[in-house]
Structure 1
Amino acid sequence: MKKQRVAIIGTVGLPAKYGGFETLTEHLVSQLSDRYDFTVYCSQKKYDVAERLTEYKGAKLEYINLEANGVQSIFYDTISILKALKNHDVLLILGVAGAWILPWVKWFTSKKIIISIDGIEWKRDKWSFAARLYLWWAEKIAVKYSHVDISDNESIQDYTAIRYKTLSKVIEYGADHTMSITPTAEDCQKYPFLLSDYAVKVCRIEPENNVEMVLEAFKNYGQLRLVMVGNWNNSAYGRELKGKYASVKNIELFDPIYNQREIDLIRGNATIYVHGHSAGGTNPSLVEAMYLGLPIMAFQVSYNKTTTENQALYFTDSSSLQTLLHQSTASTLARVSKAMKTISSLRYTWSLVAEKYSRLFQVSEEKELKTTTQNPFESIDADFLERLELGHLKNTYRFYEKR
């Protein structure tokens, strides 16, 4: 039987060495290449000549000579979509940057469009007003002209249902690629903080991740070390924060760490994981920390509460985070740790995620997958119903009420 041909568009590429969409793509091709003929579009800018493979774990790789992020992502995704139209049945598009072209794809081709809108990207503070306006519009186009849209969190699903009157499909991220690492003597020599209690936070250094809020809380609290890993040198914001807090005695700042064992060593042996994200959906770093069984202190927004099933500890500002650090007992942290591990083991595994995507690939060829959230009777004229003179529609009494 001929394999269904699926193009994966919108990632930096494979092998994964960047972020959540790349990790998702790696696990999809790892688990599903025996069933689907995958092509992954990659940024030539991010891979040296020696790194540019033509095939990876059963998937074909094609390169676009543009950046996959920032303003160039619009052209990067657009070119990827146009190339994919020739030989693929399904376009799995991760992110909305190239959404402007989707109406033409849907009107003039038979290709099936599955799109993940990647949280509510237009709300992120890092974007200029013009970029936010484009992303706001692109999100609308992506939802309207895709055959199915994916939310990675029920709170994102609620948002799209309210704004667009359609019900997206919820597919989270997996986390069971993370590893519990027992530190060696060499590890402890490289990272002396492994020998004591410490908190950890891993994130992109962006305002909506409340980086300064967390740094300020630990600076003022002073009784627990904070280890924070992020791309400090990628922006003026990051460089300013690094200069301001690098000398604080209980704070250690590290540049991005992409080696899986090393990042899991640092995360998995922490006492607490602090998650400051205020935008997005199911964040990969959060579910990975949950799978490692870390007690979570998360910024109080619906996405984080949904991901942790309201069983983590939550803060709203620097002061409330300090209060959590001061008041959380060993038994409280143990309870949260157990809950996080249980939730992640049930919800955030790559085998489950891969099967959900596989099901979408299959049924997308059979039918339109958009489901309206609008009550069909809302569009029926009241006078029309009255003229029908249907007794059961006219009678508003309940069976137990007196006539």
Structure 2
Amino acid sequence: MSKSVAIVGTRGYPSYYGGFETLVRELSPYLVERGWNVTVYSRKGAVEVDDPHRDPRVETVVTRGVESKSLSTLTYGLTSAAHAARKRPDVALVMNVANGFWLPILKARGIPTIVNVDGIEWERAKWGRAAKTVFKRGAQLTARFGDQLIYDSHEIGRRWSKEFKRDGNFIPYGGTIPPQLDPVEGLAPRSYVLMVSRFVPENTVEEFFSAAEALSRDWDVVIVGSSGYGGELDQRAQDLAEGSARIHWLGHVSDDEKLFSLWQNAGAYFHGHSVGGTNPALIQAMACGAPIVARNTVYNREVLSDAAQFVEPQSDAIAKAVDEVLSDRRLQMELSAGAIERQGDQYTWEGVCDLYEQLLVSACAGTAESTRSR
């Protein structure tokens, strides 16, 4: 008899917004192929019903919520959890500790839960005091009511073990290896620096923008991303692009082929994320063979090992490190090959999806034993 899983806490399927959505795009068809009935809870307007990449065997349920920076996750999580409680799947895969508030709803119906805790949200600078309090309380409730936890990095697992006395399962993200793609029009291969990031302070966006002004004297600079809600950083990106013909702000890019081409042909990819564990965009950049310059953090070093150049979060240091990579074709080749090898050894979607299914099966069986605890 087939098993059923409800996936709660993402924007839906298929969505191209962030890491959770990338995971759902890979995991949902994988589980269907293995006989699972998969229901993904979605937000209104967040997915295209006629998306050619959508697997029609994956059921999507659109629920209501408040679309705002601070209330979206909580309100959509509540309506999704309430619907799933009525439907009673064999197991619920819940994304984001903010949804820890709604785990008792699922527990009351006897539905085992597996929670991907994501990063340490209450330390992100983009959130105000109230939002940070909500995330911290959600984490406490997740630690209390979540049957099994998933951490996407070993360091996140150590933080949870220390702060919440909960062990869990290490399951990172995977990468898709693309074919050789043509460069994006107007950009010569290996002659531009690329940044792909949500515009929030902890992603070193402001420091990179300052570095971009210096770098643009000799190199093209390509910026992909936005805040999602407008604001000072979006305005700064627009001003940079309008002030220099060599700075290109593309906004959010949902076309995977275009994004993969940007990574594949970049002369340097700057990854400035400082919190959040294993970053899906970083894994995909590795799969595309981008020569990587990364902010020096415990998370980035865990993922990249020696397959990158590491830099402190100062604009002068970023500009210097990026310029060195852009100026040295041999170094570019070494970093590119190292990134591809590291991703292939440690971060594949086949391996990731297999670990998720193992955990889902064990939860349905009532054992919920860790597939890979640290």
C-alpha spacing 1:104/1:80, structure 2 compared with 1 (3 Å): closer
Deviates more, 1:30-39 or 1:321-330: 321-330
SS in 1 for 2:305: coil
Query: Within the alignment, does 1:202 sit opposite 2:199 as a pair?
Result: no
User: 1:155: which partner in 2?
Assistant: 155
Pairwise CA distance, 1:244: 3.7
SS in 1 for 2:98: coil
Which one has the largest radius of gyration? 1
**Is residue 9–residue 94 contact of structure 2 (8 Å, CA) maintained in 1?**
yes
User: 2:32: which partner in 1?
Assistant: 33
**Is residue 84–residue 106 contact of structure 2 (8 Å, CA) maintained in 1?**
no
Pairwise CA distance, 1:136: 1.1
Out of 187, 197, 202, the residue aligned to residue 193 of structure 1 is 187
User: 1:386: which partner in 2?
Assistant: none
User: 2:219: which partner in 1?
Assistant: 224
User: 1:20: which partner in 2?
Assistant: 19
User: 1:79: which partner in 2?
Assistant: 79
Pairwise CA distance, 1:234: 2.7
**Is residue 157–residue 168 contact of structure 2 (8 Å, CA) maintained in 1?**
yes
Deviates more, 1:219-228 or 1:19-28: 219-228
C-alpha spacing 1:242/1:73, structure 2 compared with 1 (3 Å): same
User: 2:316: which partner in 1?
Assistant: 319
C-alpha spacing 1:237/1:359, structure 2 compared with 1 (3 Å): same
Pairwise CA distance, 1:249: 4.3
Per-residue displacement from partner, 1:226-265 (whole Å, max 9, x unpaired)? 1111126632123331244221343211111111111122
- Counterpart-to-counterpart distance in 1, 2:73 and 2:175: 26
Pairwise CA distance, 1:40: 0.6
User: 2:94: which partner in 1?
Assistant: 93
**Is residue 181–residue 261 contact of structure 2 (8 Å, CA) maintained in 1?**
yes
TM-score (norm 2): 0.90
- Counterpart-to-counterpart distance in 2, 1:349 and 1:57: 24
User: 1:237: which partner in 2?
Assistant: 232
C-alpha spacing 1:327/1:68, structure 2 compared with 1 (3 Å): same
**Is residue 237–residue 249 contact of structure 2 (8 Å, CA) maintained in 1?**
yes
Aligned residue identity for 2:335:
V
Deviates more, 1:283-292 or 1:63-72: 63-72
Q: Give the unaligned 5+ runs of structure 2.
A: none
Pairwise CA distance, 1:179: 4.3
Aligned residue identity for 2:279:
N
Aligned residue identity for 1:10:
G
Pairwise CA distance, 1:368: 4.5
- Counterpart-to-counterpart distance in 2, 1:68 and 1:310: 41
User: 1:173: which partner in 2?
Assistant: 173
Aligned residue identity for 1:322:
A
Pairwise CA distance, 1:362: 1.1
C-alpha spacing 1:92/1:69, structure 2 compared with 1 (3 Å): farther
- Counterpart-to-counterpart distance in 1, 2:186 and 2:323: 24
- Work out the percentage of aligned pairs sharing the same amino acid: 26
SS in 2 for 1:367: coil
Pairwise CA distance, 1:326: 4.0
User: 2:263: which partner in 1?
Assistant: 267
Deviates more, 1:241-250 or 1:331-340: 241-250
- Counterpart-to-counterpart distance in 1, 2:179 and 2:79: 37
User: 2:336: which partner in 1?
Assistant: 337
Structure 1 residues 343-382: aligned runs within 5 Å = 343-364=342-363, 365-369=365-369
TM-score (norm 1): 0.84
**Is residue 201–residue 275 contact of structure 1 (8 Å, CA) maintained in 2?**
yes
C-alpha spacing 1:52/1:293, structure 2 compared with 1 (3 Å): closer
